[in-house]
Amino acid sequence: MSTSKRRERELAERERLIVTAARDLAEAQGWDAVTTRRLAEIIEYSQPVLYSHFKGKDAIMAAVAVEGCAELAVLLRAARTGAADGVAALAAVAHAYTDFAEQRPALYEAIFALAVGLPFATPAAPAPLQEAFGELLEVVRPLVGDDDLGVRTEVFWASLHGLATLMRDGRLLPDGREQRLAVLLDRFGD
Amino acid sequence: MSTSKRRERELAERERLIVTAARDLAEAQGWDAVTTRRLAEIIEYSQPVLYSHFKGKDAIMAAVAVEGCAELAVLLRAARTGAADGVAALAAVAHAYTDFAEQRPALYEAIFALAVGLPFATPAAPAPLQEAFGELLEVVRPLVGDDDLGVRTEVFWASLHGLATLMRDGRLLPDGREQRLAVLLDRFGD
DNA sequence: CCTCGAAATCTAGCGGCGCTAGGAACGAGA
DNA sequence: TCTCGTTCCTAGCGCCGCTAGATTTCGAGG
């Protein structure tokens, strides 16, 4: 009776262990270093155990992505609500977004580059993804009104995403970070 | 004497064959389907022959990327020089860029997502990359002057890149393409 | 307390990957 | 014709994601 409860708890615990291990390993050595064999070794179980929790490696990465997205949403919300006015909020959110991408590159990659299977721009998208996008919507709304809101937010997001990825891959000059953000905010500041 | 010339020609031919095979296979079935074994089969040589032409699979992908970038540069130049004025040129280049990303997704991916080893924002970058970026510079220059030119161009490019990649991965609403470009051009149109 | 059956877990292995060592086949020059 | 360097292939290494089938574990019923 209560033993099954305990087992349930243990299973959930182990599942968290898997996700955390994948995330830590990815942050430390990149996603290429995240293999099912290494994950199995870290959690001290054999490889097939992973497959009783997740359908495959992609599902593990998706779980990391969703978890990371929830954290991103929190950061964005804090940036937005802590700002004095609409323009300041936009700047704060932009900085928070690019900081996140820079400081947790593997996490960012999991969310927005890998994990292509995740449903995104649909109602079926996991809640954390919708929350993160919702933060962007809310920071753009005061500057735009409700008419072009969706489109304007998508473009603003795309610009941030482009800056983050090109920067990460060394495609942009290493020193222009602040200037680029300033230009972007100037463009989208009303 | 002349036999060595012939061999040289044959080698160059085979190298082109490899790059073309990789490119075609990637466009047809995605980069995951491009394996050294399959490439060897297509060119009708054994696997190790590939390694006498390229240091590894990454180098083959980089060759595809450079080739694709040259084509992108041509398209961008045509778009830019065929436009009536500066704003029209910006619009034409933006459309050409996103069209390229949409119609040749594997090629675009090779240039801007994979092939991380390619030097980019340095003088050591391959000529085609500099040409493509140069086209962006030239289309932004008339609207900005020479002061913020570099930064403005990087941000414009990042926005296009963000739109292209988020769109490709299904992260944006499928129908808003034109509207998004219109918003972006409105933002960067002066 | 013992047995039994189901659930949990492991061992072993499949096919495929990028890449490379070592030997066979070939062709040019003596 | 023989030699020797180049070219190319066969075979295989260590790794990958994933899975089938044997084995162990452990609570439930007698």
**Residues B153 and B79 both lie in one domain:** yes
Non-local (6+) Cβ contacts of A161 within 8 A are A112, B162, B165, B166
CA-derived radius of gyration, chain B: 19
**Residues B46 and B73 both lie in one domain:** no
Q: Across residues A38-55, what is the average pLDDT?
A: 97
Residue A1 pLDDT: 46
DSSP string for residues in A76-115: HHHHHHTSSSHHHHHHHHHHHHHHHHHHSHHHHHHHHTS-
Q: How confident is the model at residue A9 (pLDDT cuts 50, 70, 90)?
A: confident
B133-168 burial, b if ≥16 CB within 10 A, otherwise e? bebbbbbbeebbeeebebbbbbbbbbbbbbbbbbbb
Using a 7 Å CB cutoff, list residues 60-119 of B near strand D.
Answer: none
pTM for the whole structure: 0.94
**Residues A23 and A74 both lie in one domain:** no
In whole angstroms, give the CA distance from residue B160 to residue A155: 9
Residue of chain B minimizing CA distance to A175: B151
**What confidence tens digit (pLDDT) does each residue in A151-178 have?**
999 999 999 999 999 999 999 999 999 9
**Contact state of A152 with B183 under an 8 Å Cβ cutoff:** yes
User: Residue A75 in contact with residue A92, Cβ under 8 Å?
Assistant: no
Q: What angle do CA B36, B64, B135 make, to 5 degrees?
A: 165
Q: Across residues A124-152, what is the average pLDDT?
A: 94
Non-local (6+) Cβ contacts of A152 within 8 A are A140, A144, A188, B183
Q: Match 């222009």 to its residue by tokens.
A: A176
**Residues B11 and B101 both lie in one domain:** no
**Contact state of B161 with A162 under an 8 Å Cβ cutoff:** yes
Q: How confident is the model at residue A131 (pLDDT cuts 50, 70, 90)?
A: very high
Strand D contacted by A167 CB (< 7 A): no
Q: What angle do CA A60, A16, A41 make, to 5 degrees?
A: 70
**Residues A105 and A158 both lie in one domain:** yes
Residue of chain A minimizing CA distance to B181: A155
| Structural domain count of chain B | 2
Q: Minimal CA–CA distance to B67: which of B123, B9, B110, B119?
A: B110
**Residues B48 and B65 both lie in one domain:** no
In whole angstroms, give the CA distance from residue B115 to residue B106: 12
**Residues A91 and A32 both lie in one domain:** no
**Contact state of A151 with B113 under an 8 Å Cβ cutoff:** no
**Residues A34 and A74 both lie in one domain:** no
**Residues B48 and B70 both lie in one domain:** no
Q: The tokens of A18 are what?
A: 């898997």
Q: Across residues B114-128, what is the average pLDDT?
A: 82
In whole angstroms, give the CA distance from residue B19 to residue B23: 6
**Residues B131 and B175 both lie in one domain:** yes
Residue at a domain's end among B17, B37, B54: B54
Average pLDDT, chain A: 93
Residue B9 pLDDT: 78
CATH classification of the domain holding A43? 1.10.10
**Residues A93 and A9 both lie in one domain:** no
Output DSSP code: residue A122.
Answer: S
Using a 7 Å CB cutoff, list residues 16-45 of A near strand C.
Answer: 45
How distant, in Å, are the alpha carbons of A6, A38, B73, B139, B186 from that of B93?
61, 46, 10, 8, 14
Q: ipTM of this predicted complex? A: 0.92
**Residues B109 and B165 both lie in one domain:** yes
Q: How confident is the model at residue A46 (pLDDT cuts 50, 70, 90)?
A: very high
**What confidence tens digit (pLDDT) does each residue in A24-34 have?**
999 999 999 99
Non-local (6+) Cβ contacts of B6 within 8 A are none
Find the domain containing B80 and state its range.
61-188
CATH classification of the domain holding A115? 1.10.357.10
Residue at a domain's end among B54, B73, B97: B54
